[in-house]
Structure formats: structure tokens, C-alpha cells
Amino acid sequence: MRLNSLKADRRFALATILLVSEYLLSWTPYAIVALFYLFNVKYISQQSVLMTICAFIAKTSMILNPFFYIVTIKTNQFKSMLYCGKCSCSYCRTRENILVV
């Protein structure tokens, strides 16, 4: 029992480290370029392509988050949602019963 808890804690720590690292790596270039653009640094203000690329990388981080959760946490709830297309929580099950009746 204790070994399973330790494994779950390690997976959660890994997921947290991955998500924080991914957030910092994707949003830091955008923030730096936006600050340069705000203060009218000549080189950056003329490079709209650079701003577009940094914005694209930053905003795709939202798409990657669910994949990091699925890969690192590995709980049955994520697997059931992925394979069945339905949520396995009690709220959704009672809601389905109400809608069917």
C-alpha cells in the first residue's frame, strides 16, 4: 500500500515538474519579445514574424497540457475518458440516467 502511494507521489511530482517547465519554456520567449515590443526596441518592433512565432509557441502549450497529464499521471479516470469518450465520474453517470429517463 505504501509503495503504491510513493509511486503516485513520484508521478505527481514528475507531472508538476513537466508542466511548470513546459509553461516556462513556452511563455518566457513570448514575454521577453512582448516587453521589447512594448518598450519600442527597434529590432524587435520590426520583426513581426518573431512575435508571431513566439505567440504560436506560447499558445500551443495549452494543447500539450492534457497529453502531459495522460502520460505522467496514468489514472483509470483518464484512460476511461480516452477510450470510451465518456467521463467516469458519478456526476456524469447520474446526469446520463436523468437524461435517459
Q: What is the pLDDT at residue 34? A: 85
Q: What is the pLDDT at residue 24? A: 94
Please say whether the dihedral angle defined by the alpha carbons of residues 97, 99, 100 and 101, taken in this order, is positive or negative. Answer: positive
- As a whole number, the mean pLDDT across the chain is 75
Rounded CA gap, 2 and 18, in Å? 24
Q: Tell me which residue has cell 465518456.
A: 86
Evaluate if residue 53 carries a pLDDT over 60.
Answer: yes
Evaluate if residue 96 carries a pLDDT over 70.
Answer: no
How many domains are there within the chain?
1
Evaluate if residue 68 carries a pLDDT over 80.
Answer: no
Distance of CA 95 to the CA centre of its chain: 27
Report pTM: 0.61
If you count DSSP H runs as helices and E runs as strands, how many of each does the chain have, helices first? 5, 0
Q: What is the pLDDT at residue 100? A: 46
Alpha helices in 39-74 (DSSP H): 42-45, 48-73
Rounded CA gap, 69 and 84, in Å? 17
Q: Which region among 46-55, 57-66, 78-87 has the lowest average model confidence (pLDDT)?
A: 78-87
Inter-residue contact 65 to 78 (CB < 8 Å): no
Q: What is the pLDDT at residue 44? A: 64
Evaluate if residue 59 carries a pLDDT over 60.
Answer: yes
The whole domain housing 78 covers 2-100
